[in-house]
Amino acid sequence: MSHTSHTAHGPRTSRTAHRTKRPALLAATCVTAVGLGLGLAAAAPVAAAGQSGAGSGSTGRQYDAKEVRHFLKGFYGTHGPSAWEREHLVTEELKEKAAQTPDYDLLLCAQNVPKAIDIGPVTTAQSAGVGWAPVTTHWGKGQDTRVFTAYVGLDASKPMKLMDISCEAPSA
């Protein structure tokens, strides 16, 4: 579907084609106003998604919570992402961020491989173009679990990828 029509003065673009991306502050404010309780931990990923979310070439369709959950369950599996998943299902920005922590696995917020991984309920902020879920890693008997937040871009015109991690426990 094209948003361009022609007039005597040349091509005319509709309002939706001229609509600018929402400022990062507005996206972060919307997420907070909805009462998601993620506080500052969500501000950076939401801001990044608001700036790079539904860009040019976007189909307008976004991944939903069920699709995000399926992706995260497949990505993390039982013990964490494989080398292939780390290479092909993570944004370049997150790969660079993870490379800066050579003694720490940023994608798992840990130094070791967990015994099991669970994905919690998924939240999506369609206007910000980002979805997220708590990821709980289990370390065996007598050891604590660890909870962190994984963020995924929602633009369905692109393959789904892990776009950010917050190793801080999500707010209740």
Q: pLDDT digits over 91-123, tens only? A: 999 999 999 998 999 999 999 899 999 999 999
Residue 7's pLDDT band (boundaries 50, 70, 90)? very low
**So what's the pLDDT on residue 58?**
53
> Among all chains, which residue has been given the structure tokens 């994905």?
119
Rounded mean pLDDT, 154-161: 96
More confident residue, 75 or 141: 75
Q: What's the pTM?
A: 0.66
**So what's the pLDDT on residue 141?**
73
Show the beta-strand stretches assigned E in 14-129: 116-119, 123-125
Does 27 have pLDDT greater than 50? no
